[in-house]
Structures are given as structure tokens and as C-alpha cells.
Structure 1
Amino acid sequence: MFEKWTYKLNESMTIEQLLREKWMVSRKAIHEMRMAKSITNLSGEPLRWNEPLPPGTELTFHLPDASSSYIPEEECKLTIIFEDEHCLVVSKPKGMPTHPNAPNETGTAMNEVMAYIKNYGGEYAEHAHRLDSGTSGLLLIAKHPIAKGVFDRMLEEKKIVRTYEAEVKGQLKKDEGTVNAAIGRDRHHPTRRRVSPSGQNAITHFRKIKVLKDSTIVHVTLETGRTHQIRVHMSHIGHPIIGDTLYGGPAQPDGYRLHAFKLEFIHPFTGKHLVIEDMKKQ
């Protein structure tokens, strides 16, 4: 869909430094781009990769062909919240998996995204993070392999802030707080996770928004991205999410109430500070 795009340097550096140090592109991808002479000036002339370029230099990227293996649905019914030539942000409804778990599986958000991508002549789309099937909200999609690698690194370095809204059982006394408790697998259940000293480091911040009769609305941000992290941590402090029966929440016919409503980050290719929101729960 977007085989060519431009990037303006905001400081003096070589192409090698931009790819390897700033964006941390893999050695294999850098080698492929070098062999294909994928980076030129605006006139289409190849540039020396180890020659420092002045601030303001505009580079044109002609990316090698890349494709994703998701089977496209007949049409994309997801709401597109944001799009540019590097990424796509969609709103995933509750009850839909983020991605297939088997080669021929369909009915996931990525199958729908691929329908949208192919409709515009593209072949590549990969999710930068994932949402549990029962969680609705914003999903960040990379539209080319360089973006995928950069977004992966930004998530690892906590440069993409993800904020969720949840309704939890009971009335929280604290206005805000942090849960710092490692999460591991529950040996007694195939899908459940639990707080465990031997698990992976997990940090969740929460802030009270509204107190209801028997529950509390909270906004939650993640420092780490462990499986079921918000669900495990809120249950751990005695306030499981309403509808989340797996972690002790009271049953609800519409499932558990957790919605990813905001993504905030500095766009790695445009430098713009993006705050993308979707308060509509699907």
C-alpha cells in the first residue's frame, strides 16, 4: 500500500546510525535495504550510508516487498481511529481475538485488518501489541517491517503509554496507587495467571475516576505488558473487574468491563506527539 515514504532528519547522522542506533532495525533488514539500495534522496539517487547527513535532509525509503500471512476477511468492519503511511490504530470489539492462533484461523482483528490493507493494495500488517479477547479498545498496527521493529522497541522501553478504563468490584479507598507484583502461570489452570514471586516483573498504575454503589471506575496504565496483567493485579488488591469470573469478579452477561481507550506516544517517523483516544466501548 505504501511502498515509498520520506523521512526528514532532525539531527546530523549517517543512514547507518539512523537505522542501527535510533530505530534499532535488525541486521538482516539493514543488509537487505543496503543491497536493494532502498534509501535515496528526493531525486531517487542512492546515498552513502556512512556519510554524515545534515539536519533537514529528506530521505526516501523504497521498502523491499513484505507480506503477512493473515487470511483476509471479505471486508473490514473494524473502526479505523487513526492512520498514516506507517501505522494504523483500530478499535477492537469485545469478544474478538487480536490474532489467529492457528494458520487457517479467521475471525480475529488481524484478519479484518488484512482485508482493509489488501483493499488498498497492501500486503503487510502486524500488531504491535495485543488485547485479550474480552478486552475492547485501541490496537496499534504496523504497516511496514521497520515500523513493526520500532514499535516493538518503544513498547519495551515504555515509550508507548496505554491507558485502560475498568469497572472493578467494591469501592476503592485510595485515589490512586501502583501494583508491583510479578505474574506467572497458574499451575492449576490452563489459561489463568497469578501473582507469583517466580513470575515476570509486572507494574500497574491505577487512578480512581468515579465511585458507584457497588463498584468503582478506574483508569489504569501499564508499565509492563504481561498476559492478563490488569485483571490479575486488580484481583490481587481485592477489586476484580466486574464480569471477570476467571479472577473472582461477579458475573455479567456482557463479559468483563475493560476497555483500552488511549494510546500516547511520540511518532517515531514524524516526531508528532500523538494522543489517540476511543471512549466508545464496543
Structure 2
Amino acid sequence: MFHYTTKENDMTVEQLLRERWQAGKKTVHELRMEKGVKDVEGEPLDWRSPLPTGTRLTFEFPHAPSTYESDHADHLDVIYEDEHILAAVKPAGIATHPATPGEKGTFMNQVIAYVREQGGDYAEHVHRLDKGTSGLILVAKHPIAKALFDRLLEQGQITRMYVAEVDGEMRRPRGSIHYPIGRDRHHPSKRRVSPSGQSATTHFRVIRRTADSTFVEAELETGRTHQIRVHLSHIGHPVKGDTLYDGSETPDGNYRLTATKLSFVHPFTGELTTVELD
């Protein structure tokens, strides 16, 4: 369930859902059939009646549960949360979501446990992080938020920043890496720079250098699988711990790569929203 206050005069519920938010047909149909859009008194609204600016709406989703098994949420580090989304930290070494039904021990198992403790039953990740990568993941708390944030991600309107420790001394203080990325025909889970791959751009700047490594901040302009890992390896500076792409080994086997910042214009409030690790 979430609340929304209309910002335009004479907009109908139908227009808000179908035109402004472009919510999925299934979601719209279920909301209509279940009379899931109500006023402040809890009364169902006529979807075709124009509403004045400032009308307070309540959206309820009676049949929109997520199917993840609940796991312990004791150690879940939630950095940001509102009615629509939350951003929490995925530790390195665990998967973002289950690979098979009933699997536990992933980030989303912890998230759904947290959401259910608060009386909710829906949580779906907007993007993913590799198992060896740590950091911020954005999670939608209802189906309309999922649709809107998926669209923002697809359109490149969610800024995602990472910090990586890479092997060697990176001499260029900043730059951009423009290489297309495709599948590696010789390794099922590996990607490589390929002329026939999808276009990909990563911006970077050096933060500091050590005797055998360089710390860089990287920003994704596109979101290809393993993009930062592939790009940094291709220019001769693989992420430490990322042995798949020729990085040096780390004691714990995890990558020295952390998603540190998310920034976007919130589709429900219109405000620039930034979530950042300390």
C-alpha cells in the first residue's frame, strides 16, 4: 500500500496510472477489479472522474506478493526507505536474489523478511550486483514503483557510482571507457569486449594510489553485465579479487568493488534523491 497526492488539476485515476505512470496492464486490471484506489475516507474512487490538485489517494495491492522465502533480516543495513522503495547494502559474497525457487541466503531473502516484519509482502530488486560485489541495491516496495524505476534504469536516469581497487598504477587521472561488451563464447558466465557486443560506457577518476594498486571511482552510463569489471580489465587494471578477469587474488575471494551511490529524480515526489554510503 502507498499514498499519493495529485499534482495536476482534473487528472483522473485512469490517466495517472495509464499515461503518467504507464503501469503494467496486469497491475492496472487488478487495481480496478479490486477497487484498490481509494480516497482518504477509504472509499473506492471513480477512475474516470477528474480530481482536483492535492487529492490524497491510497493504492492497495491485494494480490501482489513476492515469492522469496524469508531469511533473517537482523543484519540488513537499510540506508534509505520511503513508501515506494528502499535502498540497502548487499554484502560481498552473497547473491542478489535466489537462482532457484525456495533458495535462501541471498540479499532478497533478507529484504523480504524485513518488509514482511513491517506488514508488507512485496519487494523486487530494480538492479543487481554480482556476488563478489558489495554495496547499494535499490528495491521496489510495490508493483507500480517497480515499473517506474525499471523504466528509469532502462533510460539511464539512475546514476550509479562505484569505488574499485584495481591492480597496478592507473596513470590517467580520469577518463571514459567506450567499448562494446558481449558474451565470451568460450566461457558461459564471462563477458568480453567485442565489436559485435552492446555499447557500453564507464567513466572513471582516480581517488588515490598505493604501492601496487589504484582506487578509482567509476560511474556507469550503461548497465551491461560485468561492465566495470570487463572495462577495467580491458585497459590493464582488473579489480582486485576478480580472478575471472585476471585480477589478483584477495584473502576472502571477494572483489574490491563497492556500489557507493545512487541518484535519481524520484518519480513519485519529483525530488532529486541521492542515497550514498558513508
TM-score by length of 2: 0.93
Counterpart residue number, 1:267: 266
SS at 1:150 equivalent: helix
Q: Do structure 1's residue 66 and structure 2's residue 64 form an aligned pair? A: yes
For 1:50, the aligned partner's letter is R
Counterpart residue number, 2:6: 9
SS at 1:110 equivalent: helix
Q: Do structure 1's residue 258 and structure 2's residue 257 form an aligned pair? A: yes
Q: Residues 92 and 255 of structure 2 are in contact (CA less than 8 Å); yes or no, is this contact kept in structure 1?
A: no
Root-mean-square deviation over aligned CA pairs: 1.7
Q: Residues 193 and 234 of structure 2 are in contact (CA less than 8 Å); yes or no, is this contact kept in structure 1?
A: yes
Q: Quote how far apart the aligned CAs of 1:102 are.
A: 0.8
Unaligned 5+ runs, structure 2: none
Larger CA deviation: 232-241 vs 35-44: 35-44
Larger CA deviation: 124-133 vs 211-220: 211-220
Q: Residues 76 and 115 of structure 1 are in contact (CA less than 8 Å); yes or no, is this contact kept in structure 2?
A: no
Taking the aligned partners of 1:39 and 1:278, their CA distance within structure 2 comes to 36
Unaligned 5+ runs, structure 1: none
Q: Residues 90 and 139 of structure 1 are in contact (CA less than 8 Å); yes or no, is this contact kept in structure 2?
A: yes
For 1:26, the aligned partner's letter is G
Q: Quote how far apart the aligned CAs of 1:212 are.
A: 2.3
Counterpart residue number, 1:121: 119
**How many matched pairs?**
276
Residue among 208, 211, 216 paired with 1:210:
208
SS at 1:16 equivalent: helix
Counterpart residue number, 1:277: 276
Taking the aligned partners of 1:75 and 1:172, their CA distance within structure 2 comes to 39
What do the CA deviations read for 1:194-228 (whole angstroms, capped 9, x no partner)? 01122222221112211222221111111222111
For 2:113, the aligned partner's letter is A
Taking the aligned partners of 1:211 and 1:10, their CA distance within structure 2 comes to 49
What do the CA deviations read for 1:212-256 (whole angstroms, capped 9, x no partner)? 222211111112221111000111112111221111112221332
Q: Residues 240 and 248 of structure 1 are in contact (CA less than 8 Å); yes or no, is this contact kept in structure 2?
A: yes
For 2:7, the aligned partner's letter is N
Q: How does 1:65-84 map to 2 (within 5 A)?
A: 65-84=63-82
For 1:237, the aligned partner's letter is I
What do the CA deviations read for 1:160-209 (whole angstroms, capped 9, x no partner)? 11110001122222222111221111111121110112222222111221
Q: Do structure 1's residue 234 and structure 2's residue 232 form an aligned pair? A: yes
Taking the aligned partners of 1:197 and 1:274, their CA distance within structure 2 comes to 36
